[in-house]
Structure 1
Amino acid sequence: MLNHLPPLAPFRPRLIQDIKGYNGEKLAKDMGAGATVGIVALPLAMAFAIASGLKPEAGLWTAIIAGFLISALGGTSVQIGGPAGAFIVIVYGIVERYGVANLLIATASAGVLLFLMGLFRLGTLVRYVPVSVVIGFTNGIAVLIALSQVRDWLGLDIARMPGDFFGQIATLTQHVHSVNPYAFSLGVLCVIGLFLWPRLWAVDSQFRRQLDRIETVSALRATSRLPAPVVALVTLSLGSWALSLPVETIGSRFGGIPQSVPAFELPAFSWETVRLLVTPTLTLALLGAIESLLCARVADQLSNTRKHDPNQELMAQGIANVVVPFFGGMPATGTIARTVTNIRSGAVSPVAGMVHAATLAAVVLIAAPLAQHIPLAVLAGVLLFVAWNMGEWREFGRLKHFSNHYRLMMVSTFLVTIVFDLTVAVELGLVMACFLFVRRQSDIFRADVLARHPHQLTYRLYGSLFFGAVAKIDPIVADVEGGPAGVNLMLDATQLISLDTTGLDALEQLHKAVQKRGGHMGIVGLNAQPRSLIERSGFHQRLHTCQ
Structure 2
Amino acid sequence: MFSALKLSLQRKPSYQAIQANVLSGLTVGVIALPLSMALAIASGVPPQHGLYTAIVAGIVIALTGGSRVNISGPTAAFVVILLPIVQQFGLGGLLVSGFMAGFILIFMGIGKLGKLIEIVPYPVIVGFTAGIGVVIATFQIKDFLGLSIESLDGNYLDKLSALFYALPSIDWKEALIGVLTMAVLLVWPRFRSRIPAHLVALFVGSLFVWGLGFYISDFSVATIGSRFSFDINGLTGNGIPSVLPTFDWPWNLPGTDGTAIGISFELVRLLLPSAITIAILGSLESLLCAVVADGMSGKKHNPNDELIGQGIGNIIAPLFGGIPATAAIARTAANIKLGGSLPLSSVIHSVFIVVSILLLAPLLSYIPMASMAALLLIVAWNMSEAKHFVRTIKVAPRDDVLVLILCFLLTVLFDMTVAVAVGIGLAAMLFIRRSISLSQVSMVEVDHAKYDLPNSIVVYDINGPLFFGSAQKALTTIAAVRSDLRVVILDMSDVTLLDMSAIVVMESIVADLQNKNIGLVIGNLSPQMILKLKRAGIRKQSGKLFFSRTLDHSFEAARKML
Please give the TM-score of this superposition, normalised by the length of structure 1. 0.91
Say yes or no: does 1:226 pair with 2:187. Answer: no
2:285 aligned with 1:295: no
- Report the alpha carbon displacement of residue 355 of structure 1 after superposing the two structures with TM: 0.3
Rounded Cα–Cα distance in structure 2 between residues aligned with 1:474 and 1:527: 20
Change (3 A) 1:366 1:14: same
Correspondence 1:430 to 2:404: no
Q: CA deviation at 1:431?
A: 0.7
- 1:487 positional shift: 2.0
8 Å Cα contact 1:92/1:163 also seen in 2: no
2:405 and 2:296 mapped to 1: Cα distance? 29
Provide the C-alpha distance between the structure 1 equivalents of 2:334 and 2:56, rounded to a whole number of angstroms: 19
Equivalent residue, structure 2, for 1:5: none
Deviation at 1:451, TM superposition (A): 4.2
Residue identity over aligned pairs, in percent, reads 39
Deviation at 1:348, TM superposition (A): 1.8
Partner AA of 1:249 in structure 2: T
Q: Pick the aligned partner of 1:138 from 119, 129, 135.
A: 129
Give runs of aligned pairs for residues 252-271 of structure 1, distance below 5 A: 252-254=226-228, 255-266=238-249, 267=251, 268-271=262-265
Counterpart in 1 of 2:480?
Answer: 479
Q: Does 1:496 align with 2:495?
A: yes
Alpha-carbon shift at residue 120 of structure 1 (Å): 1.9
Show the counterpart of 1:19. Answer: 9
- 1:532 maps to a residue whose letter is L
Deviation, structure 1 residue 182: 1.4
Instruction: List per-residue Cα deviations over 1:291-338 (Å, max 9, x = no partner).
Output: 00000111111114x301101111110011111112222110000111
Instruction: Note the 1:70-109 alignment, pairs <5 A.
Output: 70-109=61-100
Q: Answer whether contact 2:126 2:389 (CA < 8 A) is retained.
A: no
Out of 181, 186, 190, the residue aligned to residue 199 of structure 1 is 190
Could you tell me which residue of structure 2 aligns to residue 508 of structure 1?
507
Q: Is the 8 A contact 2:465 2:496 kept in 1?
A: yes
SS in 2 for 1:426: helix
Tell me whether 1:403 sits opposite 2:397 in the alignment: yes
SS of equivalent to 2:183 = helix
Deviating runs (4+, > 3 A) in structure 1? 451-454, 474-478
Q: What are the within-5 Å matches in structure 2 for residues 113-512 of structure 1?
A: 113-162=104-153, 164-201=155-192, 224-244=193-213, 245-254=219-228, 255-266=238-249, 267=251, 268-304=262-298, 306-398=299-391, 399-451=393-445, 454-480=455-481, 482-484=482-484, 487-512=486-511
Q: In structure 2, which of residues 40, 49, 53 is the aligned counterpart of residue 49 of structure 1?
A: 40
Q: Is the 8 A contact 2:73 2:325 kept in 1?
A: yes
Contact (CA 8 Å) 1:497, 1:529: kept in 2 or not?
no
Q: For the residues of structure 2 that align with 1:176 and 1:39, how far apart are their CA atoms?
A: 34
Aligned partners of 2:244, 2:33: CA distance in 1, in Å? Answer: 16
One-letter amino acid matched to 2:367: I
Cα distance, 1:531–1:256 mapped onto 2, change above 3 Å: same
Task: Report the AA paired with residue 367 of structure 1.
Answer: L
- Counterpart secondary structure, 1:545: strand
- Report the CA distance between 1:397 and its aligned residue: 2.8
Instruction: Report how far residue 160 of structure 1 moved.
Output: 2.2
Which residue number corresponds to residue 546 of structure 1? 547
Following the alignment from structure 1 to structure 2, what is the Cα–Cα distance between the partners of residues 62 and 274? 22
Aligned partners of 2:17, 2:305: CA distance in 1, in Å? Answer: 23
Aligned partners of 2:275, 2:539: CA distance in 1, in Å?
A: 49
* C-alpha deviation, 1:243, in angstroms: 1.9
Q: 1:30, CA displacement in angstroms?
A: 0.8
1:498, 1:529 within 8 Å by CA — same for their partners in 2?
no
* Bigger mean CA deviation after superposition, 105-114 or 273-282: 273-282
Paired residue secondary structure (1:491): strand
**Given the superposition, is the C-alpha separation of residues 375 and 163 from structure 1 closer, same or farther in structure 2, using an over 3 Å criterion?**
farther
Per-residue Cα deviation, 1:443-474 (whole angstroms, up to 9, x for no partner): 11110101476421210100011111123124
Q: Letter of the aligned partner of 1:252 in structure 2?
A: S
CA separation in 2, counterparts of 1:395 and 1:408? 15
CA distance in 2, matches of 1:359, 1:512: 75
User: 2 CA distance for matches of 1:374 and 1:19?
Assistant: 40
| Letter of the 1:487 counterpart | R
Q: Which moved more, 1:13-22 or 1:352-361?
A: 13-22
The secondary structure found in structure 1 opposite 2:489 is strand
DSSP-derived class of the 1:225 partner: coil
CA contact under 8 A between 1:248 and 1:375: conserved in structure 2?
yes
Deviation at 1:164, TM superposition (A): 2.3
Distance 1:143 1:412 in 2: 14
RMSD: 1.5
Indicate if the aligned counterparts of 1:237 and 1:373 stay in contact, CA closer than 8 A. Answer: yes
Q: Is the 8 A contact 1:62 1:330 kept in 2?
A: yes
Q: CA deviation at 1:527?
A: 2.3
Give the Cα–Cα distance (whole angstroms) in 2 for the partners of residues 388 and 397 of structure 1.
14
Give me the whole-angstrom Cα distance separating, in 1, the residues matched to 2:527 and 2:98.
46
TM-score norm. by structure 2 comes to 0.89
For residues 484-541 of structure 1, give each alpha carbon's deviation from its aligned partner in whole angstroms, at most 9, with x where no partner exists: 2x62111000111111111111111111111111121110101254323213323133
Task: Mark the structure with the bigger radius of gyration.
Answer: 2
Match of 2:259 in 1: none
| Alignment check: 8 A CA contact 2:493 2:523 kept | yes
Q: Distance in 1 between matches of 2:503 and 2:194?
A: 66
Q: Residues 4 and 66 of structure 2 are in contact (CA less than 8 Å); yes or no, is this contact kept in structure 1? A: yes
Shift of 1:179: 0.8
Question: For 1:541, what is the secondary structure of its paired residue?
Answer: coil
Alignment partners' CA distance in 2, 1:401 and 1:256: 48
- The amino acid that maps onto 1:260 is V
Cα deviation per residue 1:3-37 (whole Å; 9 max; x = unaligned)? Answer: xxxxxxxx233112112312321111011000000
Residue by residue over 1:369-402, the C-alpha shift from the partner in whole angstroms, topping out at 9 and shown as x without a partner, is 1111110000111110111111121233322322
